[in-house]
Amino acid sequence: MESDLQLLPPQSPLPTTTDQKPQPRHPKRFIKNQIPSSITDDPSLNAAIALLPSNYNFEIHKSVWRIRSTGAKRVALQFPEGLLMYSLVISDIITAFTDVDRCFVLGDVTYGACCVDDLSAAALDADLLIHYGHSCLVPVDNTVIPCLYVFVDIKIDVDRLTDTVKLNFGSSIVVKQIVLAGTIQFATAIRAAKPELERLGFRVLIPQSKPLSAGEVLGCTAPVVPMSRLEDEGEVVLIFVADGRFHLEAFMIANPRIKAFRYDPYIGSLFLEEYDHKGMKECRKNAILKAKQAKNWGIVLGTLGRQGNPRILDRLEKKMSAKGLSWTIILMSELSPARIALFGDSVDAWIQIACPRLSIDWGDAFIKPLLTPFEAEIALGDLPGWWEKKTVIKDSSVCSNGVDCCRKGEDCCGNNGNGLEENVVDYPMDYYSQDGGEWNSCYSKKPTRPSLRNNGLK
């Protein structure tokens, strides 16, 4: 039997001179996994899909194709509470139009993308998990079984959104710059609104904090908008598309100098939103200062989905050991003041590796300090507190280089034209950001090696 291998003629060695120009880098090629028309045009399947809300995209065709193409037999479905009402219909559709033996619905609480419960699905011997309503925060190559994320894109009236913005800001001579963001369900609408708002004369920026999608904000992760990215003229406002303010608050914490408006797509109204930055930071400062005196620590590793990251736990344990501190590890699915109080005075301070908003929003309700990993770094002396350092803010809204920087005179900033010096205001909301600190829980940290561009190569 002849071999299929063919010997190639020897090639001349590559030149070793240093003056050779580097070859241009080409983008990677991706082949689209086309859903066959036998699925997309199946009248029975489409009739079943019509039972679901027409403006909610549950990507049923994609799910059916994924199950059929992989031969999955035991499929687990996971929904946030707001979508559980559709879970049984979707389960019935999947059971009817695929060859699965069992289709499970995971009923435990799901707060966000951090709660993807591949571990429970694996315990049920599932060979595929479909997670609805959140983005791919935990990469699919990090889950213990194959996972399919369905964002559940929600169609809204984009014209009404742009008309509402025009009605409120169209005649303004001050507001000419808009930052657009929202939750993942409205990412498509946000992208569609951008060119329409630009036609109305606004300058529009859709920020991104990778690995999140452009414009997407989580309750613990929000992009920081550098003021240098915006123009020098006009006030900057945020238009945040969401029906609640939990995710919006993360953006407001990360960008305290941007005035925030929330657009509710279900009622078509715009609301001015505010946040007590001073009160929040004072509360967290007091908790950190109190924790600095702690001798016995408790570290809570969240077990709700993937909230708890063992990498952060390992990092904290090494710091505790180096400082000669005593600590105990507690596994807990959901934290509450009542449950933490059961430990009494045996623990002086707590660090929770679960959701930073538990500490930010509910910290005062706990009888002992409950710190985030970021706050723990300050309490352990590895980072200075935001109240301990000064910053010179140099951007479009304040003076940075004398008389020409903002056209208001040599001392417009009150600091001799050198920029506005004030306490650091940014409390990091970067819990899953690639650019976040070492304390964060990102599964896909940006590589630390310098890029080719930084080396002068193109």
Tokens 């569609």, residue located: 192
| Residue 327 to residue 349: CA distance in whole angstroms | 10
- 94 and 164: one domain? no
Average pLDDT of span 55-79: 97
- 183 and 260: one domain? yes
Total domain count for the chain?
4
Average pLDDT of span 319-332: 96
348: which residues sit within 8 A by CB, 6+ positions away? Answer: 291, 293, 294, 295, 296, 297, 368
Does the pLDDT at position 402 exceed 50?
no
Average pLDDT of span 104-123: 93
Average pLDDT of span 248-258: 96
Asked whether 357 and 365 are in contact (CB, 8 A), the reply is: no
What is the predicted pLDDT for the residue at 5?
40
Q: CATH number of the domain at 253, please.
A: 3.40.50.11850
Which range marks the domain in which residue 126 is found? 37-152
- 270 and 177: one domain? yes
- 158 vs 218, 304, 442, 456, CA distance in Å? 22, 36, 32, 43
- 47 and 141: one domain? yes
Domain limit, last residue, from 259, 275, 291 = 275
Asked if the structure places residue 194 within a domain, the reply is: yes
Does the pLDDT at position 426 exceed 50?
yes
| Residue 158 to residue 184: CA distance in whole angstroms | 15
Average pLDDT of span 22-31: 48
What is the predicted pLDDT for the residue at 454?
39
